[in-house]
Amino acid sequence: MNQRHSISMTVNGEAITMDVPVRMNLVDFLRNELGLTGSHVGCEHGVCGACTLKIDGEMVRGCLMLAVQADGCTITTIEGFADDPRSDRLQAAFERNNALQCGYCTPGMLASALDYIEAGGSTDRTAIRQHISGNYCRCTGYQSIVDAIAQTIEEGQKS
């Protein structure tokens, strides 16, 4: 048995209609069917945050949703954040602070950080750490990531 469903959705501004196996999760669909390999797959059980993406305006785990559940939804992946000036500033701050090494966690980390910044999050380091507590980074030790997020918020307040 290999059950399939037809789904339609908007991904990074583009309308898409496709036939998908019902058991395929959303992040595998985006990576393998649409070639959007910016969202990463780490743990496949919701713990690492590498697959974090935006669906109908809310951050979710791409590994804990089925592609069929995204029927009719609007999805933004890390590729889609590229046009957002706030995302540009954040990415520059990540680079400046060495807030990435292997880059595996980075797309999910940027997505969570953007969510925090857009919600008006403060530069309080504990609050930042709490917000990104659902995103694992095995390289940086987090310090530089918190620096990058705090600096982006400070820059936003100045401009």
> What is the contact surface with ligand FAD in residues (CB under 6 A)?
46-47
Nearest to 71 by CA among 4, 15, 8, 17: 8
Helix and strand totals (H; E) in the chain: 6, 5
Contact status: 125 vs another protein (CB under 8 A): no
The torsion region of residue 83 among left (phi > 0), alpha (psi -120 to 50) and beta comes to alpha
Residues 43-62 close enough to bind another protein by CB under 8 A: 44-46, 49, 52, 58-61
Of the residues 65, 75, 150, 153, which one makes contact with another protein according to CB under 8 A: 65
Contact status: 134 vs another protein (CB under 8 A): yes
Of the residues 36, 63, 148, 150, which one makes contact with another protein according to CB under 8 A: 63
User: Sign (positive/negative) of CA torsion 20, 26, 27, 28?
Assistant: negative
Contact status: 48 vs ligand FES (CB under 6 A): yes
Contact status: 132 vs ligand FES (CB under 6 A): no
To ligand FES, the closest distance from the beta carbon of 133 in angstroms equals 13
Structure tokens at 152: 């982006």
Q: How many CB atoms lie within 10 A of CB 124?
A: 11
The full 3-state SS of 117-142, as one line of letters, equals HHCCCCCCHHHHHHHHHHCCCCCCCC
Closest CB to ligand FES among residues 4, 138: 138
Residues 72-111 close enough to bind another protein by CB under 8 A: none
Which residues in this chain contact another protein in the complex, by CB under 8 A?
A: 1-3, 5, 21-25, 28, 44-46, 49, 52, 58-61, 63-66, 68-69, 112, 115, 129-131, 133-134
